[in-house]
Structure 1
């Protein structure tokens, strides 16, 4: 393949994707980038432009040449302008582009370079949150994190935040540090170097130590360059990244043809199986030996065997117990939240069922803001949702009725429940973080996703879109899904320059209503009799044991 030159995108993620990205065109075929992927790219670019304008504004009163914006449309011109600014000793270089290193195989650009001593600190801007606010910081402890204000490089210990580290950000900074070091422009020896990271909130620069990962970066870069050049072979494996990868249709077809075990078992567990010679789903389905000694992870080995047998036979779900169970109540409220990236939660959809009064209609109620996120109006809509939910809860208690609110995978809902309380606590009706935490910890907040995992082995995943159809529910919109809803939302509020399309608001409300109705249908199905037609996991496992002794040994 020749000498490969790697950029930031090539430093992390699936190694097989990297190999395909660098493969000759005749050796691989890819699908076009999805509209959602393009939207993420455009949103990230818009965020970077906004923050660069902010940084430039902070330096606007400096003498000429102290802060340089590199805006040449040509790559070679940008490299030349960046070199000239460094040679002139500019304090800030915005939109800096470093010269492509064809010998070492590196290319890179930094949203900013800030001078420190005789060199520069690289700073990058990303479109996700990079810190978490610490609700009650321990002022008597030395914080591990340092931050700097945006107007200048003044790192100080920050006890109010913790770092939300993402490997791709750290590796990109490590590559920029390596490139600056090769140019003799790094602010410190690589073993002592740091970088800067500005996230979605753009309220500080996070100081990222790079010296401690320099060796890891060098080793990882060497392997990835070898993969890109074709000297290290890779093979497809199903991983979480596959769901948004443009190569997935090609990889999926190959994995299905090979009946690869990664289709039902991922991560380190898949590696352990392959090391044990269990490379196909069929071999796993027929496995009769002991659990591998190195088995790790939350998924039980027996569950992987059940998943494999289910995949082979086309069984969508398998019961763990004779009678599945899920928490029920007199008054039940299904809840589904819609958010946009990390900008906020714009919609809280609800569906109330009164099991004590069959005459009371089951009505979908949305609490929504159509002001483009981020917006303070998000706090107003959240306060309205919370007030309604607590009113129904209190009314149930006063009537001596039980109450439960349900969501599907509380990780997302809990994040925005807490985040809304933290960000909008000064608005009328917004509960305190303590109040929200108490509700989340109560038995009246039920995660149906957890109930599914507790009751079933799910060979093709536990997502609501996969499980609810087994219970008989189908979405009205054939394109319904998380990625599609991002596109709809962008059009619904004309986000980041998108064309305004008010019909997408109705589409989003219908999608959200279907999500809460799907949750209701699913949990009622779990508690009903129709679920009993599914096979039992123990019955499937029993087929693999030649004697009671083997089964006991397995257990």
Structure 2
């Protein structure tokens, strides 16, 4: 077998997946791609192409040879074009492809190489946000801003008091990987490694594509060496790996194989988090059965923020086939006279295109329990998103005010408010003052902070031990609810949305709009069914968690 050659994407994520990709496929980059992952890849490619076109346009007045865009074609030809551009001293090199280093085992490409200080800095373009807006009005005791950003037209980083960094490890790893390759080629600014200057830099352009974030790399470069050497050892078979359930498993094509192996050996990672399973295994608790019958204190390294008793109960539920265990004699969730279930649909970082609602007046059985969706079918990002959000907010506020005027209590419910809160605030930040009816950030924050905004996800965690997770599609079936579409999921809805609006050149399929509305309606109805079940006597059929602990 030929020596392993790693790209930046091989430096993070599950080591066992990397080992399987290489040993089973013969190439560390040969991992299968799910339709959902392919959609994300295609969206990222489209975003990168659009940003590169913008950057190229900003340099349109430069002399010939200053700006070079590497053409499509065989890898060898792209490498040669990149080499000639570097040797000619081009200021901007777009779609640069670096020579594969078979001796060190590295491959890489950069959306942009920009000439600086006698060499080149890598700039990568990603399809997620890399900064967060901050208010320039800083408290007197706040630390000074440290983020450096540069305009898109040139590498000229300066302190930016209006943004903070949203750093992701994989982005920094890619920049360090590319910088290491540039160092080895002698093409790097301050080439020769970290001793070439007090700081190393790379650039990052995110979804908003409104600046280049200057990312300091000196510390990351020092850590990169160990990361790369371990990953090479994994694919070379020098480090043994095995399956362990982690968050990445949800989208991994190897999961059916790993799940079967984990289930056969009844591995403890099936019921606890990945890092917790390692702590248990180090303490000699390797199976679900061993955890389910464990008596005594948790292992010394067990994290204090995680209930060890819940882990034991989860294991017992898994062994006995129990869906949920109630913590209290009588579970409870906040109820009201007028109840509105809310579910938001968004597409990646681009925005929220739908706000679905289901209103129930518990004091008036004659009032229809009606699903209502506020939606835009203009491809995101779009100003029309502000219009649909304004209509949702206006309707919700009117129902809330009407309930108060009638002397009735009111509550709006969602399942896991993190996503809804993000787009409530984000919509206010982006559209207040631009679109009529969009509330201010202060109005949104007041609503989020009120007792009338209820997170049913939090109520589930407060009331139950959930051995198979707390996702709505895991919990609602226990309460008797099932989705009409067997393929319904957040990931699948991304595919449906891309087709519904012909996003990024996708073939349009208007039937996917109806599918998305059905999916959203089922989500709000699932939330209603779940919270009403929590308040009913039927929930008392569940065992108490205390009764499941070993005596």
TM-score by length of 2: 0.96
Tell me how far apart the structure 2 counterparts of residues 69 and 27 of structure 1 sit (CA, whole Å).
Answer: 28
Is the Cα contact below 8 Å between 1:2 and 1:229 reproduced in 2? no
Q: Which residue of 2 aligns with 1:550?
A: none
> Cα deviations across residues 131-157 of structure 1 (Å, max 9, x unaligned)?
111135528653121111111111011
Q: Which residue of 2 aligns with 1:300?
A: 307
| Structure 1 residues 136 and 538: CA distance shift in structure 2, 3 A | farther
Offset at 1:535? 0.2
Tell me how far apart the structure 1 counterparts of residues 91 and 25 of structure 2 sit (CA, whole Å).
Answer: 43
> Cα deviations across residues 416-442 of structure 1 (Å, max 9, x unaligned)?
000000111121111111111111011
Is the Cα contact below 8 Å between 1:16 and 1:235 reproduced in 2? yes
> Cα deviations across residues 332-353 of structure 1 (Å, max 9, x unaligned)?
0000000011110000000000
| Structure 1 residues 26 and 206: CA distance shift in structure 2, 3 A | closer
> Cα deviations across residues 102-131 of structure 1 (Å, max 9, x unaligned)?
111111000000000111110000111111
Tell me how far apart the structure 2 counterparts of residues 204 and 136 of structure 1 sit (CA, whole Å).
Answer: 17
* 1:495 is aligned to 2:497: no
* 1:390-429 correspondence to structure 2 within 5 Å: 390-426=397-433, 427-429=435-437
Tell me how far apart the structure 1 counterparts of residues 23 and 245 of structure 2 sit (CA, whole Å).
Answer: 19
Structure 1 counterpart SS, 2:382: coil
Number of residues of Structure 1 aligned to a counterpart in Structure 2: 542
**Segment drifting more, 311-320 vs 139-148:** 139-148
Q: Which residue of 2 aligns with 1:42?
A: 42
Q: Which residue of 2 aligns with 1:112?
A: 112
Structure 1 counterpart SS, 2:401: helix
> Cα deviations across residues 61-119 of structure 1 (Å, max 9, x unaligned)?
10000010011411111111111111111100000011111111111000000000111
Is the Cα contact below 8 Å between 2:21 and 2:27 reproduced in 1? no
The one of 272, 275, 281 equivalent to 1:274 is 281
Structure 2 counterpart SS, 1:23: helix
Is the Cα contact below 8 Å between 1:137 and 1:160 reproduced in 2? no
TM-score by length of 1: 0.96
Offset at 1:194? 0.6
**Gaps (5+ residues) in structure 2?**
none
> Cα deviations across residues 519-547 of structure 1 (Å, max 9, x unaligned)?
00000000110000000001111xx12xx
Offset at 1:499? 1.1
Is the Cα contact below 8 Å between 2:4 and 2:27 reproduced in 1? no
Q: Which residue of 2 aligns with 1:237?
A: 244
Is the Cα contact below 8 Å between 1:259 and 1:282 reproduced in 2? yes
| Structure 1 residues 26 and 158: CA distance shift in structure 2, 3 A | closer
Tell me how far apart the structure 2 counterparts of residues 163 and 495 of structure 1 sit (CA, whole Å).
Answer: 28
Is the Cα contact below 8 Å between 1:126 and 1:199 reproduced in 2? yes
Structure 1 counterpart SS, 2:189: coil
Tell me how far apart the structure 2 counterparts of residues 430 and 25 of structure 1 sit (CA, whole Å).
Answer: 52
Tell me how far apart the structure 1 counterparts of residues 290 and 510 of structure 2 sit (CA, whole Å).
Answer: 52
* 1:244-263 correspondence to structure 2 within 5 Å: 244-263=251-270
Q: Which residue of 2 aligns with 1:552?
A: none
Structure 1 counterpart SS, 2:243: coil
Offset at 1:37? 1.2
